[in-house]
Structure 1
Amino acid sequence: MPPASDPVPDEPRAAGAEPATASGTSGPAPLARLGRLARDVLPALSVARAHLGRHRTVAATRALRALPAPVRRRLAGAVGRTPGVLGALCLGADGRTSAAADALDRLAVRDGGRHAGAAAVAAVALHRADVARRALAEVPADARGRARVAALVAAEEGHLTEAVAALEDSRSPAERRLHADLAAELAVLTPGRLSARAPQHGAPRTARPAARVLHLVTNALPEVQAGYTTRTHGIATAQAAQAGQAGQAQQGEQGGRGEQGGSVHVATRLGFPVTAGHLGAPERVERDGVTYHRLLGARPLPRRADERLAADVRATTALARRLRPDVLHAHSKFLNADVALRVGADLGVPVVYEVRGFLEETWRSRGGDPAADLYRGARARETEVMLAADAVVTISAGMRDAVVARGVPADRVHVVPNAVDDRFVGPVADGRRVRGRLGVRDHEVVVGTVTTVNDYEGVDVLVAAVALLRERGLPVRLLVVGSGPALAGVRALAQELLPGAADLPGRVPFAEVPAWHAAIDVFAVPRRDLPVTSAVTPIKPLEALASGRPVVASGLPALREIVTPAWGGFATPDDETALADALETYVTDPDARRRAGAAGRAWVLAERTWRGAADQYAALYRGL
């Protein structure tokens, strides 16, 4: 989980995503873009200043991560061999976290700990709290700047109270600024900031054929391509289509003089996509009938978390006054709901909060301490906004149970599962061109996945399982589509275990995803058994089923809501042998693949489309 002062999580960018259609611009396109770039100068400088305020090493790491993947790879190969902080940062930016950690461990103890402080800060920048804590232990107690290093290490571990205390007596301007920033992050994570708000339930909303809805999200397509943004776009697109159909029907009934129905808008967090490293984006983007609003301006972004939240509320309130939505629909995380609840209280608009994941559990799954302020504060704030919202939406039955267990009345918690968009509802894409590009032979069976390559996805287990299948003499190849922090390690493992039989192309263009799904014969979801994976259902297995592919998954509760024996199988998490056994059924039997694929596709098209989800949302909105 990123610090509260960073409004955009570290999510992978879209590579070659579909272009957006800008609106609200004037003049020739080059001049309009130059104007937008000029607008983004001060906000971008303020983002850089915020990273520098943490530490120049943190800023350097961000800059390295912003480089194109081939450049990062070359730097890691060249500079990564050199001892020191820069070499470790280059390795880490390329995803070689284990090698970077080893280099920093060696640096921390070299020359009597003279470089331990630098190693600790570099480990913080690479989100390796364990390495940072070990390095901090090597920093002499009287070393200059030790308090700042100790604060950064504690903050990375989520212990914000400890981090603030470490800088309590600091005198240097840099340390006082960091102290203020950390105190603000702690304040934003402290419940009780929301004022009392009366529920906005009223008479059923039947004046219009569809509600006018404003979605509040962290980030969006095309700059960020991930499950979060895919769900946002699927929901909003289906709602826009529904609104258009309803408006046409009313026009017909009223002789063409009726309203045009509801409208669907999506607003991203203040400063996005500048905060994600994308400059010159239009303030409005029209995509598939949905209007995306970016809360952008020429002023610097506030550095402190509490100040940025207040500015976000002001900007969103101004937008909502113009759009006059019937419903504010906020999506994880709690900061989006906080903004929605404040705006809703001001304008008298009901608020729906959609809990797409328990982000504190995601942070915990990466080694976070459940006793830390960051974990406890995020959980408490998530619970606070759930209780304050007029309705809560979750994406699985398991998540609904977890939300109700926090004290939210069951009748206010609704399940709207993940679904597939129209790219998968039509005819199944042709994967032959992709297979041809990869050199897949006709007799070979492709086992693969499409995912963000995080450690908890267990893709390394899939690599080992495919290697076992090849040892059994089966003609299988591995295909892993997507990028993420664990990709470099998975690539290295695949090169070792599957030389010449593994393809890991990284992120592919959004429009081409269906064809890559179609290139896979058997889809795998080898997630590890963690609180976050047990409760949260991913989208990609649904897309695989819609593509007519059987799905073999870890036997976790969330995945059992998607996969059944009719169209897939299960394996014990973290067990490559069990996964290989489950995959072998479909690898060796093409008829079983076809039957399972047909059954899974039929179920998804009947039960899991965004059009069906739009009907659920419409009924929910009418009841507010």
Structure 2
Amino acid sequence: MNLRFLARQLTSVVVTTAGHINDDRVFFGMQLARRLPGPASRLVGHALGRLPGDAGRAASAWLLGEETTAKSLVSGSPAPSRLLGEIALNLGLLNEAESIAAAVPGARALSSRIEWTKGHIDEAIAVLPDGARRTRLIDERLCLQPQWWPEVSSHVTARRARNDAEHARGQHPTALHVLTNSLPHTRSGYAYRSHAVLTTLRDAGHRTAALTRPSYPVTIGRLSQGPVEFVDGVEYIRDVPLRPRPTPSERLSEQANRIAVEAHERGAQILHTTTHYVNGLATGAAAAAANVPWVYEVRGVLEETWAAAGSSPAERSARRNSQRFALMRAKEIEVASAADAVITLGETMREHLIAGGVPAETITLIPNSVSEAVVDADVTRTPADMRKSLGLPEDGIWVGAAASIVGYEGLDDLVDAVILARCQGTDLRLLIAGDGVALPELRERAAVLGDNAVFTGRVSQVQAIDYQLALDAIAVPRKDEPVCQLVTPIKPIEAMGLARPVVISDLPALRELVPDSAGLWTPPGSPQKLAELLSELASDDTARARFGDNGRAHVLATRRWKEIGRRYGQVYSQLVGSDVR
């Protein structure tokens, strides 16, 4: 490990922590406890449970994943407190949080967070006294205003002529990617797609590197081995400021300057970033300074993902009508429209961008595809054989998924469907691999299944493949939310690539992924219909095999990174070959 860079990261942690403690020690302490490694978080949870009062017991239950107990303690407590209010807000109990904030003197920071959660930016600012938090929120609102972009220092823009003169444009343009997170510290669909893109470009002869967001991976409680880390030969550059800037606009300007300098030093001919708009603002400003074209890759719909996190239909609807939603949507469209090229994952997402005003001719569709690890997987082994190797029962028909466990994935409907099917005599069993904010509630919901439900928690990509191979069918029962109607996930593609039948919700973004020959679809939000369909599939070995074989053939023919990834090079060559600036 690079000791100097380690010291820099630790100093950044100390400075940031001190700022958070001074800002709001109750909120910071609670969030820190939740983000500790599992054993440490549980230890804190047990310790809090020994304290007198509902606040300590609610915090204990929350940290231990006993969300039903935590909600009961919050709702029934006769002694409101700041801590109870923060727990209520994190549990999605917005009404209870508001009642607590009104009853606790001086709970203005909590009131502000409630308004921010509701999407009321102006109200979240107005309730606060003058100070660091108010200044920060005002500045965050500024960054969302139309036509606001970060500033790049004049000494950086002066390098543009040298950059163009020193680096001739070749057949394979050099690209610098700007990422939110990456391997090895974050193992998510986002990180794996980014790595697949970078690897594919490198193998095609492009010089590539990726610069992760400022202070990453310190921001997720991990330390980098050095200012540059290599994963499978791909270069990930870490940017850890010694003293992070206090406001979003200052941090974005600092990031844009760093991107522009890095682009100059590496002779980058293309800058390439991904959603959301924060990445786009910094990268677009840096591209203008470095005098190079830039690509904005739209992998999600930020404002709809935020709205879908509401805890009830009424709250989700209110979020979509909020100031924050409108500003985020407008900013995303502004950033995408400013880019020289836009890449997105599916036809429904492409149509969404065009409807928002992004020029159709700038958009290229590059769908999610499978890695060679999926292609090379041994799909000849039966699910029962795979379960045996993983220490799971061979008996029964196992259904499930490997996914990020959030509410809109609809895994609660899958749990209910398995319960219903078992009550009706089908030996259906459940396996869910992954982690996420909805996992504690999901575990509680599935408790009635006993040993017939398995939750693995966070797993690596290799483990995720093994667990999916252990399933007789893979379900993607997403909710009927705009984010699920628009965004095409990678999981159905992986499932088909692993020769497993796929059961999806009947939503546009999912139907465009799974051909009729490879899977089945069911109305979203209907556990009874899902149970009926899974029971039919469980009783038909021939259908499961046919769907699996057809799905794998479809993926091998159309969805391998080795072929799909070439489209990135084509986009780059078109930009560098044209006089875009």
**TM-score normalised to structure 2 length:** 0.89
| Alignment gaps of 5+ in structure 1 | 1-28, 244-261
When normalised by structure 1's length, the TM-score is 0.83
Secondary structure in 2 matching 1:553: strand
Q: 1:206-246: per-residue Cα shift (whole Å, max 9, x none)?
A: 95332211111111111111111121111111111112xxx
Letter in 1 for 2:213: R
Name the SS of the counterpart of 1:319 in structure 2. Answer: helix
Find the aligned partners of 2:459 and 2:185 in 1 and give their Cα distance: 13
Match in the other structure for 2:157:
none
Partner-residue secondary structure (3-state), 1:329: strand
Change (3 A) 1:235 1:96: farther
- Per the alignment, residue 155 of structure 1 pairs with 116
Whether 1:273 aligns to 2:217 is yes
Per-residue CA deviations over 1:319-378 (Å, capped at 9, x if unaligned) read 111112111111011011111111100011101101111111111011251233322221
Query: 1:236 touches 1:290 (CA, 8 Å); kept in 2?
Result: yes
**Residue number in structure 1 paired with 2:530:** 579
CA distance in 2, matches of 1:209, 1:426: 31
Does 1:491 pair with 2:452?
no
Matched length: 552
Map residues 164-313 of structure 1 onto 2, 5 A cutoff: 164-167=125-128, 170=129, 176-194=131-149, 207-243=169-205, 262-297=206-241, 299-313=242-256
Which region of structure 1 is more displaced relative to structure 2, 73-82 or 327-336? Answer: 73-82
Shift of the alpha carbon at 1:124? Answer: 4.1
1:248 corresponds in structure 2 to none
- Quickly say closer, same or farther: Cα 1:588–1:506, change in 2 above 3 A: same
The Cα shift of 1:623 comes to: 1.6
Q: Note closer, same or farther for the CA distance 1:594–1:480 as it changes in structure 2 (3 Å cut).
A: same
Rate the CA distance shift 1:398–1:62 in 2: closer, same or farther, 3 A.
Answer: same
Q: How does 1:342-421 map to 2 (within 5 A)?
A: 342-367=285-310, 369-421=319-371
What letter corresponds to residue 92 of structure 1 in structure 2?
W
Give the letter for the 2:331 counterpart.
Answer: R
How far 1:465 sits from its partner (Å)? 1.0
Aligned equivalents of 2:385, 2:29: Cα separation in 1: 40
CA shift, 1:123, in A, is 3.3
Structure 2 unmatched ranges of 5 or more: 153-163, 311-315, 576-581
How many Å separate the matches in 2 of 1:97 and 1:156?
20
Q: What is the aligned counterpart of 1:425 among 363, 367, 375?
A: 375
Q: For residues 86 and 188 of structure 1, do their structure 2 counterparts lie closer, same or farther at Cα, with a shift above 3 Å needed?
A: farther
Q: 2:18 aligns to what?
A: 49
Partner secondary structure for residue 450 of structure 2: coil
Change over 3 Å in CA distance of 1:238–1:128 after alignment to 2: farther
Counterpart pick for 1:463 among 385, 392, 415: 415
> Counterpart of 2:566 in structure 1: which amino acid?
D
C-alpha displacement of 1:570: 0.6
How far apart are residue 406 of structure 1 and its match? Answer: 0.9
Q: 1:363 to 1:96 in 2, by over 3 A?
A: farther
AA partner of residue 161 (structure 1) = D
Are 1:240 and 1:289, in contact at CA under 8 Å, matched by a contact in 2?
A: no
Structure 1 segment 533-612 matched on structure 2, within 5 A: 533-612=484-563
Superposition deviation, residue 76 in structure 1: 4.2
Q: Aligned-residue CA RMSD in angstroms?
A: 2.5
Shift in Å at residue 607 of structure 1?
A: 0.9
> 1-side partners of 2:72 and 2:171: how far apart?
61
1:524 Cα deviation (Å)? Answer: 0.4
Match of 1:60 among 24, 29, 52: 29
Q: What CA distance in whole angstroms lies between the structure 2 residues aligned with 1:364 and 1:126?
A: 16
CA distance in 2, matches of 1:416, 1:222: 24
1:446–1:477 CA contact under 8 A, matched in 2: yes
* Superposed CA offset, 1:180-200 (max 9, x none): 111112112222213899xxx
Query: Match of 2:118, as an amino acid?
Result: E
1:506 CA drift (Å): 0.7
Q: Secondary structure at the match of 2:173?
A: coil
Structure 2 contact 200–566 (Cα < 8 Å) conserved: no
Give the residue type in structure 2 aligned to 1:317. Answer: A
What does residue 3 of structure 1 align with? none
Q: Distance in 2 between matches of 1:195 and 1:482?
A: 37
1:2-59 Cα deviation digits (max 9, x unpaired): xxxxxxxxxxxxxxxxxxxxxxxxxxx5xx3x43331212211233234335521221
Residues 235, 613 of structure 1: 8 Å contact kept:
no
Moved more, 477-486 or 428-437: 428-437
Shift of 1:87: 3.1
Worse overlay, 46-55 or 486-495: 46-55
Task: Quickly say closer, same or farther: Cα 1:42–1:518, change in 2 above 3 A.
Answer: same
- Counterparts of 1:117-128 in structure 2, within 5 Å, are 117-124=82-89, 128=93
Q: 2:336 touches 2:358 (CA, 8 Å); kept in 1?
A: yes
In 1, the alpha carbon distance for the partners of 2:391 and 2:487 equals: 35
**Amino acid in structure 2 at the alignment position of 1:392:** V
1:552 is paired with a residue of what secondary structure? strand
Distance 1:316 1:89 in 2: 41
> Any conservation in 1 of the 2:433–2:455 contact (CA below 8 Å)?
yes
CA distance in 2, matches of 1:57, 1:126: 16
Per-residue CA distance 1:372-403 (angstroms, 9 max, x = gap): 33222211211110111111111111111110
| Distance of aligned partners of 1:90 and 1:322 in 2 relative to their CA distance in 1, 3 Å threshold | farther
Per-residue CA deviation, residues 390-429 of structure 1 (Å, 9 max, x unaligned), is 1111111111111001111111112111111111122436
Contact 2:26 2:82 in 1 (8 A): no
Q: Please tell me the residue identity of whatever aligns with 2:214.
A: L
Cα shift at 1:69 = 2.2
